[in-house]
C-alpha cells in the first residue's frame, strides 16, 4: 500500500561526537500538510531537519522518502566573491532533478541510451531552459523578490537571502519541502507571506516541514512536532498537540 506520508522517520538517534542530541524520534510528514518543528534552542531541530533531508545520516534509525526533497537552510552565508546572482541561485533549484519535467526526464533516458551519460549532461534543450526560467520567475515572484533577480546574492541582506533561498526551494518542485527557520530575520509581513506560501505548497500536495519559533506559524500549522530539549543526554520526546490527528496514532502517544 502506498503511504500518504512521503517521508517517514523511525527511531532516529543522533549524537555529535558522544553527546546525544536526538533519541528515539519518530515522525511522518503527510502529503498536503504543514508540520511545524518546535522546541527550545539546542533541542535538535536543525539536526532533525538535516536528518530528514538526508544531508546528515542518523546513527540509528531510518528515514524513508518516497519523493524528492528540497531543503531551505537557515542563516545563509555567502562569500563576497560568490559569482551568483539571486536568479542563478534560484535556477540551481529549478535545475534539480525533481524540478525537471517528465518529458525532459524521458528525453534524458533516451539521450542516455543513445549517447551515454557524459554526452547528455551537457545537453539542455531549449524547452527545458525555458521551463527553468519560468520556474525561477515564478518562485521569485511568489516570495516577492523578483526585483532581486539580477542582484549578486552575496550583496543581499540576510532577509533578502532568506527569501531567495525559499524561492530556490520552491523552484525544485519537490514533493517534500523542508525549511529551517525560513522566516528568521524577516519582518512581520514577510513572515506572514512565508506562512501563506508554505500553506499553498501543502495545498498542492507537498509534505512541508518547517522549523520555527513563531507562535503564528505554530498556530497555522496542521500539526506540531515538539522536541523537548533540556540536557543533551536526556531522551528527546516528540509530543503532539490535540489538533494533530494525523500524527496522533502514528506516534503511539510519545
Ligand atoms: N556540528 C556540531 N558539532 C557539535 N555539536 C553540535 C553541532 N551542531 C549542533 N550541535 C549541538 O547539538 C545540539 C542541537 O543543535 P541544533 O542546532 O540541532 O538545535 P536547534 O534546536 O536547531 O537550536 P536553535 O533553536 O538554537 O537553532 C546543540 O546542543 C548544539 O550545540
Closest CA relative to residue 220, chosen from 204, 249, 196, 238: 196
ipTM confidence score: 0.97
Q: Whose CA is nearest to atom 5 of ligand 1?
A: 16
Q: 168: part of which helix (H) or strand (E)? A: helix 158-172
Ligand 1 proximity of 226 Cβ (cutoff 6 Å): no
Residue with cell 502517544: 253
The model's pTM is 0.80
CB 9 within 8 A of CB 37: no
Proportion of the chain above pLDDT 70, given as a percent: 76
Can you spell out the DSSP letters for 37-50? EE-STTSSHHHHHH
Ligand 1 proximity of 184 Cβ (cutoff 6 Å): no
List pLDDT tens digits, range 91-150: 988 877 664 444 444 444 443 443 334 444 455 677 777 778 889 999 999 988 999 999
Q: For residue 250, what pLDDT band results from cuts at 50, 70 and 90? A: very low
List the CATH code of the domain at 7-248.
Answer: 3.40.50.300
48 alpha carbon to ligand 1 midpoint, in Å? 10
CB 123 within 8 A of CB 111: yes
**Domain map of the chain by residue range?**
7-248
List pLDDT tens digits, range 36-87: 999 999 899 999 999 999 999 999 999 999 999 999 987 667 777 788 999 9
List pLDDT tens digits, range 227-239: 986 433 344 445 4
Quote the cell numbers at residue 117.
551519460
pLDDT recorded at residue 137: 93
Residue with cell 536526556: 234
**Residue 34 DSSP SS3:** strand
Q: What does the CA dihedral 127, 198, 98, 143 come to, rounded to 10 degrees?
A: 40
Ligand 1 proximity of 44 Cβ (cutoff 6 Å): yes
Rounded Cα–Cα distance for residues 186 and 198 (Å): 15
Is the per-residue pLDDT at 177 higher than 90? yes
Residue with cell 533561498: 165
Closest CA relative to residue 104, chosen from 133, 84, 124: 124
Amino acid at each position: 500500500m502506498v503511504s500518504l506520508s512521503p517521508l517517514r522517520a523511525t527511531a532516529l538517534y543522533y549524537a555529535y561526537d558522544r553527546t546525544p542530541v536526538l533519541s528515539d524520534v519518530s515522525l511522518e510528514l503527510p502529503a498536503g500538510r504543514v508540520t511545524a518543528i518546535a522546541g527550545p534552542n539546542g533541542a535538535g531541530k536543525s539536526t532533525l531537519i538535516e536528518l530528514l533531508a538526508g544531508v546528515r545520516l542518523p546513527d540509528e534509525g531510518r528515514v524513508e522518502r518516497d519523493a524528492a526533497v528540497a531543503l531551505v537552510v537557515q542563516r545563509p552565508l555567502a562569500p563576497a566573491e560568490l559569482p551568483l546572482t539571486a536568479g542563478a541561485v534560484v535556477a540551481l533549484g529549478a535545475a534539480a532533478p525533481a524540478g525537471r519535467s517528465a518529458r525532459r526526464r524521458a528525453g534524458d533516458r533516451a539521450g542516455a541510451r543513445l549517447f551515454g551519460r557524459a554526452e547528455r549532461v551537457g545537453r539542455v534543450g531549449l524547452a527545458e531552459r525555458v521551463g527553468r526560467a519560468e520556474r525561477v520567475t515564478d518562485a521569485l515572484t511568489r516570495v516577492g523578490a523578483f526585483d532581486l533577480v539580477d542582484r549578486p546574492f552575496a550583496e543581499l541582506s540576510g532577509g533578502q537571502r532568506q527569501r531567495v533561498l525559499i524561492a530556490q526551494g520552491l523552484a525544485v518542485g519537490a514533493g517534500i519541502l523542508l525549511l529551517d527557520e525560513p522566516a528568521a530575520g524577516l519582518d512581520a509581513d514577510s513572515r506572514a507571506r512565508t506562512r501563506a506560501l508554505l500553506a499553498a505548497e501543502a495545498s498542492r500536495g507537498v509534505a512541508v516541514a518547517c522549523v520555527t519559533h513563531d507562535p503564528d506559524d505554530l498556530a497555522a500549522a496542521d500539526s506540531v512536532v515538539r522536541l523537548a530539549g533540556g540536557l543533551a543526554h536526556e531522551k528527546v520526546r516528540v509530543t503532539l498537540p490535540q489538533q494533530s490527528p494525523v500524527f496522533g496514532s502514528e506516534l503511539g502517544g510519545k
